[in-house]
Amino acid sequence: MPAAGDNTAAPLVPSGGGVKALRQAAAGCRACPLWRGGTQTVFGAGAARAPVMLIGEQPGDREDREGLPFVGPAGRLLDRALDEAGIEPRRTYRTNVVKHFKWKPKGKRRIHQTPSKLEVEACRPWLDAELERVRPDVVAILGATAAKSLLGSGFRVTKQHGELIEVEFAPVAVATFHPSAILRADDEDRERAFAELVTDLRVASEAL
């Protein structure tokens, strides 16, 4: 297997093949130090030519154990929001800007840590390759880490969520709140943020 470059997965990305080939190649990725703490690479999953690509930050505890994105509590909330927005799961591909779980121990628990710019950048060739292979019609960007990575450091999800944005990596994109942030909010804020997530996903759906 080719070695990863200096903080970039680029040399590992196969030039041919579909998402399956990418997933196989990414399984051994050591382009940044996060592979040491993670159980496995959690690559994107979903329809091979999904019209809607959902991009989150990084796998959580459950995703790290199961090897699939959005299978934990945040994923369940996302499923509910997609359902309310009228987006069928079979029309989606779900992935993250970082494909290893970054965490620190707290007692017996593993607590999520925000990935650094370096880690996000090291992982970016995988995301670019997924975008190139899946070729979604619309991308829904979930949360600040993914938004800053894809839309620039000045992007503010709180102010700009729900806007249709012209991007170079897809026909169009919409940024919205991260399901994990919604789960962390207090009761009142949670309901409002969930409703906004649904509204923003409808914007994505209507862009199809």
- Return residues touching ligand URA (CB under 6 A): 56-60, 63, 69-70, 72, 74-75, 96, 180
Going from the C-alpha of 197 to that of each of 6, 54, 80, 83, 194, the distances in angstroms are 37, 12, 10, 12, 5
Cβ atoms 70, 63 nearer than 8 A? yes
**Shortest Å distance, C-beta 191 to ligand URA:** 20
Tell the smallest beta-carbon distance from residue 97 to ligand URA (Å).
Answer: 8
Which residue number, 41 or 58, has a Cβ lying nearer to ligand URA? 58
Q: How far is the CB of 2 from ligand URA (least distance, A)?
A: 26
> Closer CB to ligand URA, residue 46 or residue 72?
72
- Secondary structure class of 55 (helix, strand, coil): strand
Q: Which is nearer to ligand URA, 57 or 121 (CB)?
A: 57
Closest distance to ligand URA from the beta carbon of 95 (Å): 8
3-state secondary structure of 46: strand
Which among 8, 15, 3, 58 has a CA at the least distance from the CA of 32?
8
Instruction: State the Cα–Cα distance between residues 112 and 188, nearest whole angstrom.
Output: 24
DSSP per residue, 90-111: GGEEEEESS-S--EEEETTEEE
Residue nearest to ligand URA (CB): 56
- Write the DSSP assignment of 131-171 as a string of letters: HHHH--SEEEEESHHHHHHHH-TT--HHHHTT-EE--SSSS
Identify which of residues 3 and 79 has a Cβ nearer to ligand URA in the complex: 79
Q: Could you tell me the smallest distance in angstroms from the CB atom of residue 192 to ligand URA?
A: 20
> In the complex with ligand URA, which residue's Cβ is closer, 149 or 180?
180
